[in-house]
Amino acid sequence: MNVEQIYTGCLAQGAYYITSNGEAAIIDPLREIQPYLDRLERDNVKLKYIFETHFHADFVSGHLDLSRKTGAPIVYGPNANAGFDIIVAQDGQEFHVGNVTFKVLHTPGHTMESTTFLLKDETGMDHAIFSGDTLFIGDVGRPDLAQKAASLTMEQLAATLYHSLRDKIMTLPDDVLVYPAHGAGSACGKNMSKETVSTIGNQKKFNYALRADMTEAEFVKEVTDGLTPPPGYFGMNVAMNKQGYESFDKILSQGMKALAPREFEVAAEETGALILDTRSHKEFALGFVPQSINIGLTGEFAPYVGAMIVDVKQPILLITEPGREEEAVTRLSRVGFDNVLGHLKGGFEAWAKEGLETDKVNRISAEEFASRVKIGEDMIVDVRKEGEYAAEHLEDAYSKPVAYINDWIKDINPDQHFYLHCAAGYRSMIAASILQARGYRNFTEVDGGFNAIAKTSLPKTDYICQSKVMKP
């Protein structure tokens, strides 16, 4: 038996590849399936089952393409209802892969079909659980994503999750390994560890939600407290995972269409496509195609695309660093953004050489910012997450997380100058590009963000003025 975790940092997502005696199972596969196909061929094993822990909201699974190309059936837990052929497993049902066994543990609460797969080794001993979004390392799945589909409140789902954990998972031996679907950085929980594997025993000791003396009421309160609104694209990803989608091969072929600068310009005008520039924030600041939105590939690309663009059907034209076009299309597809019409051939340099119009962001160094800004007089907009702001921030700065820019942008006075920063420059450039695309130009963005600002003599505070913290 071999168990391999295939972890994708951009999505903080774990897929699993398990082999035994010439057969394999894959759990929660990512959208692009060629790495799995290559691995199956290399190991000379047959894919017997594709197990899905639930209908994912934060990414589009590769289950359909993988099933089409291998013939392996897709297995979901009880209550699953899909627009394609699946095996709807029963609680307690067992599936054999080589000499090992997967036992279905129905663990609703995150969603009503959420299922944990218990792996039993060749001797029949409990070895590991693949817990999906039911149990994370240090956290549990948020109970607010499936309220509409389940016709239940967030509190009712949390109560359901409480019993799933205690009746199905906490009763397992302490040495059983825990393999979750996500780690730190995922929006599917709020307190996830950077670790991506643990044991039942360790989680009983260190996971706040698994305290032995915790009542149902305490669990509901603690699990639901402090949840921020889920990203807008989550519901669309669920729909794609439930109803189906275009093959990744077709999506990649379309996205890899190279458009010369003049063709790119015409395509943007005729289609109303969003121009997505995936270069680094430093390159983007120096020059970009007007109306472009910058979300750099070197960062939390996919989640921010989902949060900023929201509509997975939005037509997109890509600008990338030369050679990174396929990577960009692939990573967009992971979160359901399949409508990529093509990319700018030769990148931004080709556009500039053609003599076409360009734009740039007014960016200054932290040192220059420190010499210019008047604390208490000038408006300072901090686009980091609420927790980052709460830990430490500039005096008199306003907390307006970039994830909620579509909510707060309307409150910005276009005639009032303001300074804009995040932690290092990645998120503030996302915000800057959106602001400029919508006609706001009276601002200055700070290169290096708070990390660089903190090294200056500008006054900082831990105190949060509640009137200045944007409530989602």
Query: At 466, is the pLDDT very low, low, confident or very high (cuts 50, 70, 90)?
Result: very low
Residues 418 and 325 in one domain: no
Specify whether 10 is located in the same domain as 157: yes
Residue 459, domain member (yes or no): yes
Helices in 44-142 by DSSP H: which ranges?
63-70
Q: Name which of 159, 165, 160, 156 is nearest 135 in CA terms.
A: 165
Could you say which of 312, 328, 353 is where a domain stops?
Answer: 353
Q: Are strands 443-446 and 418-421 parallel, antiparallel or unpaired?
A: parallel
The CATH number linked to 164 is: 3.60.15.10
State what percent of residues in the chain have pLDDT above 90: 87
Instruction: Write out pLDDT tens, residues 288-332.
Output: 999 999 999 998 898 899 889 989 999 999 999 999 999 999 999
C-beta separation of 286 from 358 below 8 A: no
Tell me, yes or no, whether 385 lies in a domain. Answer: yes
Reference 114, options 169, 71, 49, 155; nearest CA is 169
**Is residue 241 included in any domain, yes or no?**
no
> Are residues 140 and 193 both part of a single domain?
yes
- Whether residue 371 sits in one domain with residue 345: no
Residue after which a domain boundary falls, among 301, 318, 353 = 353
Clarify whether residues 224 and 271 are in a common domain.
Answer: no
Asked if 371 and 427 sit in the same domain, the reply is yes
CATH number, position 416: 3.40.250.10
Of 180, 207, 235, the position where a domain reaches its end is 235
Residues 77 and 187 in one domain: yes
Whether 240 is in a domain gets the answer: no
CA dihedral 252, 434, 405, 343 (to 10 degrees): 0
Our separate counts of H helices and E strands in the chain read 18, 24
Q: Is position 358 within any domain? A: no
Does this model's pTM top 0.85? My answer is yes
The whole-angstrom separation of Cα 363 and Cα 285 is: 7
Mean per-residue pLDDT, 99-120: 97
Question: Is 110 a member of any domain?
Answer: yes
Regarding whether 101 and 187 lie in a shared domain, the answer is yes
Q: Report the candidate in 153, 138, 105 with the shortest Cα–Cα distance to residue 209.
A: 138
My answer on whether 222 and 258 are in the same domain is no
Q: Which ranges of 10-88 does DSSP label H, i.e. alpha helix?
A: 34-43, 63-70
The CA R_g of the chain, rounded to the nearest whole Å, is 24
How does pLDDT run across 167-189, given as a tens digit for each residue?
Answer: 999 999 999 999 999 988 787 87
Based on the fold, state whether residues 127 and 32 are members of the same structural domain: yes
Burial of 102 (0-12, 13-18, 19+ CB in 10 A): buried
Q: In the chain, how many domains are there? A: 3
Mean pLDDT across 191-219: 94
Looking at the structure, tell me whether residues 35 and 139 fall in a common domain.
yes
Query: What is the extent of the structural domain holding 373?
Result: 363-468
184 shares its domain with 307: no
Q: Nearest-CA neighbor of 430 among 389, 384, 370?
A: 384
